[in-house]
Amino acid sequence: MTQPILTAAIVGAETTRAQNPNLPITAEEIGIEAARCREQGAAIVHLHVREPDGRPSQRTELFARAIEEIQKRTDVVIQTSTGGAVGMTAEERGQPVSLKPEMATLNCGSLNFGDEVFENPFPLLRRMAALIRDAGVTPELELYELGHLDNALILEKEGLLTRPFHVQFVLGVKGGMQPSEARVRLFASELPAGSTFGIAGVGRHQLSMVRLALSLGGNARVGLEDNIYLRKGVLARGSWELCAEARRIAGELGRELATPDEARELLGLRRRG
Ligand code: KMH
Ligand code: ZN
């Protein structure tokens, strides 16, 4: 088994300060939180940004400032979101790709998302995939159910994606596929040879999915974007505390987390900056 890569999803678009006061919002807070997560084993930071009042945003300038504050402090791989928040246009969502981050997400299909619909129709997928490809950025494929893998394979046939696929199974969204070991095993077994996969378990599933992912040779994602609790009724003091917990689980399984440079090697990334 290769070394597992831990991603910290430290901001997100849905979590609010009212839900967890430790959510970073300003560029400086984001930079500090990214460095703390790195200290606790994270190699990748999955990045969203917020307007000063906390509203989710995809503005290039806010991403540029957050990236600067992260890079001042630490060497993590920065993966910008192109998912943004439900309801944003493709144009809004694609903005951070212009900064040529090392990675960007590509959400590979639509789904119910809480009481709303996260829309990713084929024209948007094609546009986003082309934007990422043309910027020379490595995509991480966000798959919320198995049909989204079929969508990625269609994009590949159209020349918009190349292998190896780096996949994140996002499981536990209300409206998407819920996590179970059998489903994860099926998902992983369907991936093209040479793919890597991680699991982002949403809500109470987060830490159990870290254990499952690592035991199946996959990567893991934790952070306040997906889950605000360290355990039932106890708010996490930051995404760093969830990273520490993921690292403890990795240790129990006899696995050592990849450093950012090891992650770059494993994912075949071109280092920036
Ligand atoms: N906020 C979700 C609607 C991504 O970052 O690419 C989408 C999301 C996925 O967070
Ligand atoms: Zn995200």
pLDDT tens-digit profile of 61-95? 999 999 999 999 999 999 999 999 999 999 999 99
**185-192: average pLDDT:** 98
In ligand 1, which atom is closest to the CA atom of 107?
A: 6
Q: Who lines ligand 1 at CB under 6 A? A: 13-14, 81-83, 85-86, 105, 107, 113, 118, 142
Full DSSP string of 90-153: HHHHHGGGGG--SEEEEE-S-EEETTEEE---HHHHHHHHHHHHHTTPEEEEEESSTHHHHHHH
Cα(139)–Cα(142) distance, integer angstroms: 9
Q: Work out the mean pLDDT of the chain and round it to a whole number.
A: 97
Residues in the chain: 273
**Distance of CA 170 from the midpoint of ligand 1 (Å):** 10
Residues 6+ apart with CB under 8 A from 259: 43
What SS3 state is found at 100? coil
Q: Are strands 166-171 and 234-235 parallel, antiparallel or unpaired?
A: unpaired
Per-residue confidence band for 273, with pLDDT thresholds at 50, 70 and 90:
low
Q: Which ligand is nearest to the CA of 103?
A: 1
Residue 41: the pLDDT is 98
DSSP 238-264: SHHHHHHHHHHHHHHTT--PPPHHHHH
| Alpha carbon of 48 to ligand 1 centroid (Å) | 8
- Per-residue pLDDT of 193-218, as tens digits, reads 999 999 999 999 999 999 999 999 99
Pocket test for ligand 1, best of 10, 47, 81, 137 (most atoms within 8 A of CB): 81
Closest-lying ligand 1 atom to the alpha carbon of residue 12: 10
**What confidence score (pLDDT) does residue 13 get?**
98
The DSSP output letter for 95 is G
Q: How far is CA 242 from the centre of its chain?
A: 14
Q: Distance from the CA of 109 to the center of ligand 1, in angstroms?
A: 12
- Tokens 């306040």 locate to 224
**pLDDT value at 272 more than 70:** no
The CA distances from residue 70 to 78, 158, 181, 268, in Å, are 9, 35, 35, 21
* Alpha carbon distance 51, 12 (integer Å): 12
What is the spatial distance between Cα 140 and Cα 106, in angstroms, rounded to a whole number?
6
The three-class DSSP label of residue 204 is: helix
Q: How do residues 96-151 score in pLDDT, each as one tens digit?
A: 999 999 999 999 999 999 999 999 999 999 999 999 999 999 999 999 999 999 99
pLDDT of residue 79: 98
d(CA 103, CA 205): 25
Indicate the SS3 state at residue 138: strand
pLDDT value for 160? 98
Question: Pairing state of beta strands 49-50 and 44-47?
Answer: unpaired
Give residue 86 CA to ligand 1 midpoint distance, Å: 8
Residues 188/168, Cβ–Cβ less than 8 Å: no
The predicted pLDDT at position 271 comes to: 65
pLDDT of 270 > 80? The answer is: no
Residue nearest to atom 7 of ligand 1 (CA): 83
Kindly tell me if the per-residue pLDDT of 186 is higher than 70: yes
Q: What's the rounded mean pLDDT across residues 24-46?
A: 99
What confidence score (pLDDT) does residue 2 get? Answer: 87
* DSSP three-state, residue 103: strand
